[in-house]
Amino acid sequence: MMTTLKKINLSNFTSLLYAFLFAFIFSITTLSSALESPTYSVERKALGVNNTLKKVTFTKDDADTCASVVAALERSHYLGLRFNDNLSSKILNQYINILDPAKNLFTKKEIDEFEKIRYWLDNTLKKGDLTPGYALFNIYLERSFEKLNYIIKNIDNWKKKLKLDGNDEITLERKKAPWPFDKNELTHLWEQELKNAIITLQLEEESDDDITKLLTKRYKNRLNRLMQINSEDAFKTYINAVAMSFDPHTQFFPPRMSEDFDIQMSLSLEGIGAILQTEYEYTKVVSLIPAGPADKSGLLMPGDKIAGVGQGLKGAIQDTVGWRIDEVVNMIRGPKDSFVILKIIPAGQKGSQNFKVISIKRDKVKLEEQAAHKKVVPFKRNGATFNIGVITIPTFYLDFKGMQEGIDDYRSTTRDVFFLIEELKKEKIQGLIIDLRDNGGGALQEANQLTGLFIESGPTVQIRSRNGYMSRLEDTDPSIAYNGPLIVMVNRMSASASEIFAGAIKDYNRGIIVGAQTFGKGTVQALQPIDDGQLKFTNAKFYRVSGESTQNRGVVPDIEFPSIYNSAETGESSLDGALPWDKAEQASYIPYPDTNIKQILSQLKEKNLKRIETNHDFRYLKDRYELSKNIFNLKSLSLNTSKRIKDKENLDRIELEIENRLRIAKGEKPFSSIDELHKADPRKKGVDDEEVVTEIPNKKEEKEKEDILLKETEEIMADFINIAQSRGYKW
């Protein structure tokens, strides 16, 4: 563009400028004019809808807030991006993906029309002009209205209207699919959605009449909710498309949501203790708060998708597909000791199995239940007994107020672990396991100080700011609380501060990391008030002392265990637009001799592989993970009822074989049917409103009893102790 401009005279330049301005204004007018009259004429009253679909428009306050958000992002975000053509293009892609992630609302012709504004959004946003964003949003509203009306019209007498015995299939992942060519292709996609909803209910053994009633109620509710969407919703959607074009952790929370500024939020205040986010039309569980109600129940898992919410043990379940996340959160919250019903699609199942209906008792997360705790495992092998200490750290906590007020016994992770280590030393442990599985992080300084309990001194983490300045947190205390064999357990849900601690232990050659690749949350966020709302933005990035970032890749264990979480749907790398992994300069630090760890590690890996090759529990974990991964990777589902029933029966058969293989290996009686299996395991059971599962009995005891990963870690520690003692290694 600049090369061309240099070659033209002033007169031509003026003409060209006016041409561009006219093209821009024309494109906006074209987008807006598409909304002048509904393309689908439907009697709203006949559908039970009292309101009319209204176009949304922005206000001067919206414009001012937009300009303020743009200025704040340019000024403060870690990436230092400017609002230019490149970012404008990215914003358009992000916005279209938010409005139509399944590519079943916009046609190719409309997408081509949107191309006219691809490189103009930066100019309009800086001035607070929201016209392009609102024009697209109004088209989204009108098309959503058409879609819901089409489906509602075809629900009635669906048995005669729809063919459910053909070769049609519904594509589950449409990110790479082409845009529908015209309205005919759109309506075909809408029909497929309806067919899939019908077959899913058929698999749940609902009668034809009940299917009609359920789907009519579901889609009329969605239509009513669509009619309630207002300008504030449009503003939030568009401005967050702008914010999330920087990275997925950057978001704007308008005034109505300021109380819950982090929508990927903890429901720890009289809730269930879950961190949620929006994924397409569902509310997805990102992680669980350790020792929270959901965690204790054993019924909810990261990756589960919430499709409905009800109150009490017998309350009707309200369909929440397509709802705003703050509305879902408000339904899940409630008085302490009351129950909330959740209708979920279990992680990795993509609706190919039955929905599960569970109920969780609301409560507050108690600090004492999140505190670090210990146990001693007398591990016997070949006539010898090893005393192995295990310290479980559910989260990195710190009583900031108590610390600031100078209270001597204020609670903190490091202080508690120090005293636990002192107690374990009195019990003459020979090795120590630090269990950080499912620890989502917390206070950064605790990760630094906790590392200091195991090393003499030195930096523990590096923090790079927007301007490239690298600061470091350091352990300056040369004393060591524990200097024996050390193993750190992690999994996919170990994040942030957990990754900093595990990474430091690995970089210093101080211990061995076992488990699964960690979450990969290696960025820092800050909050800035914008008018009456708040902007959360990424302003720094973590690096290990080796220079490797914890962002995106997390920490890779020295000895890997089978994962129970699918990395494709959990972890930082599963988020669209996540900042990449990179490497910074190595910090100045003195690691322990690598021969200590490296020579031991090769032997530990060899012994570990020999054990798990014949370990029935490990084979079971691998088989379960592969089944979950295969289901998650399904590209399409048949829209033939008979074939879907056979597909479900085949998946049930594989699941039953996996369970029975383990039971037979352990000398237990195999299950005779999938129904018997589901009755024995509430997590796998599909139930109706009369059979809501409220807990897995003795979950804590069963978890400890069947914690095969911890048992194998104890085996590794016994090997570690033997080799270290025979070689006289000390740290």
Same structural domain, 413 and 524: yes
Residue 54 has pLDDT above 70, yes or no: yes
CATH number at residue 457: 3.90.226.10
Q: What is the pLDDT of residue 140?
A: 96
CATH number at residue 272: 2.30.42.10
Q: Mean pLDDT over residues 584-606, rounded?
A: 88
pLDDT range class, residue 623, cuts 50, 70, 90? very high
* Residue 516 CB contacts under 8 Å (≥ 6 apart), including other chains: 490, 491, 492, 557, 560, 561, 562, 563, 565
Residue 684 has pLDDT above 80, yes or no: no
Pairing mode of beta strands 431-435, 486-490? parallel
Residue 321 lies in a domain: yes
Q: What is the pLDDT of residue 131?
A: 96
Residue 18 lies in a domain: no
Same structural domain, 345 and 452: no
Contact predicate 546/576, CB 8 Å: no
Q: What is the pLDDT of residue 730?
A: 66
Residue 708 lies in a domain: no
pLDDT range class, residue 382, cuts 50, 70, 90? confident
pLDDT range class, residue 90, cuts 50, 70, 90? very high
Residue 1 lies in a domain: no
Same structural domain, 294 and 407: no
Q: State the total domains in the chain.
A: 3
Same structural domain, 148 and 101: yes
Residue 522 lies in a domain: yes
Residue 720 lies in a domain: no
Residue 461 lies in a domain: yes
Q: Mean pLDDT over residues 682-704, rounded?
A: 46
Same structural domain, 198 and 113: yes
**Percent of the chain topping pLDDT 90:** 59
Same structural domain, 51 and 190: yes
Q: What is the pLDDT of residue 270?
A: 59
Q: What is the pLDDT of residue 674?
A: 87
Same structural domain, 181 and 42: yes
Residue 148 has pLDDT above 50, yes or no: yes
Q: What is the pLDDT of residue 608?
A: 96
Which one of 196, 216, 243 terminates a domain?
243
* Tokens describing residue 385: 């007994």
- Structure confidence by residue, pLDDT tens digits, 519-536: 999 999 999 999 889 999
> Of the candidates 468, 534, 502, 514, which has an alpha carbon nearest to the alpha carbon of residue 609?
514
- Structure confidence by residue, pLDDT tens digits, 264-277: 333 334 578 888 88
Which one of 600, 627, 652 terminates a domain?
600
Cα radius of gyration rounded to whole Å, the chain: 28
Residue 586 has pLDDT above 80, yes or no: yes
Q: What is the pLDDT of residue 237?
A: 94
pLDDT range class, residue 704, cuts 50, 70, 90? very low
593 vs 187, residue with greater confidence:
187
Same structural domain, 474 and 505: yes
| Minimum mean pLDDT range among 521-535, 615-629, 694-708 | 694-708
* Tokens describing residue 681: 């395991």
Residue 450 lies in a domain: yes
- Structure confidence by residue, pLDDT tens digits, 275-326: 888 777 788 888 888 888 888 888 888 888 898 899 988 788 888 887 878 8
Structural domain for 299, as ranges: 252-361
Same structural domain, 300 and 378: no
> Of the candidates 459, 453, 510, which has an alpha carbon nearest to the alpha carbon of residue 479?
453
Contact predicate 152/144, CB 8 Å: no
Q: Mean pLDDT over residues 182-196, rounded?
A: 96
Same structural domain, 53 and 195: yes
Q: Tokens 């004019």 — which residue?
A: 33
Residue 59 has pLDDT above 80, yes or no: yes
Which one of 316, 333, 361 terminates a domain?
361
pLDDT mean across residues, the chain = 85
Helix ranges (H only) for 438-496 are 444-452
* Residue 708 CB contacts under 8 Å (≥ 6 apart), including other chains: 615, 617, 618, 621
Q: Would you name the residues annotated as active-site residues?
A: 496, 507, 521
In this structure, which long-range contacts are made by residues 25-33, counting pairs with CB atoms below 8 Å and at least 24 apart in sequence? Answer: 26/116, 27/113, 27/116, 27/117, 27/120, 28/117, 28/131, 28/132, 28/135, 30/113, 30/116, 31/113, 31/114, 31/117, 31/132, 31/135, 31/136, 31/139, 32/131, 32/135, 32/138
Residue 180 has pLDDT above 60, yes or no: yes
Residue 141 has pLDDT above 60, yes or no: yes
Q: State the SS3 of 354-390.
A: CCEEEEEECECCCHHHHCCEEEEEEEEECCEEEEEEE
**SS3 (DSSP) at 46:** helix
Same structural domain, 230 and 282: no
Q: What is the pLDDT of residue 348?
A: 65
The b/e string for 223-243 (b: 16+ C-beta within 10 A; e otherwise) is bebbbebebbbbbbbbbbbbb
* Residue 285 CB contacts under 8 Å (≥ 6 apart), including other chains: 274, 275, 276, 294, 300, 301, 302, 303, 304, 305, 306, 347
Same structural domain, 310 and 344: yes
Q: What is the pLDDT of residue 277?
A: 80
Q: Mean pLDDT over residues 668-693, rounded?
A: 67
Q: What is the pLDDT of residue 256?
A: 61
| Minimum mean pLDDT range among 6-15, 358-367, 420-429 | 6-15
- Structure confidence by residue, pLDDT tens digits, 636-648: 999 999 999 999 9
pTM here? 0.86
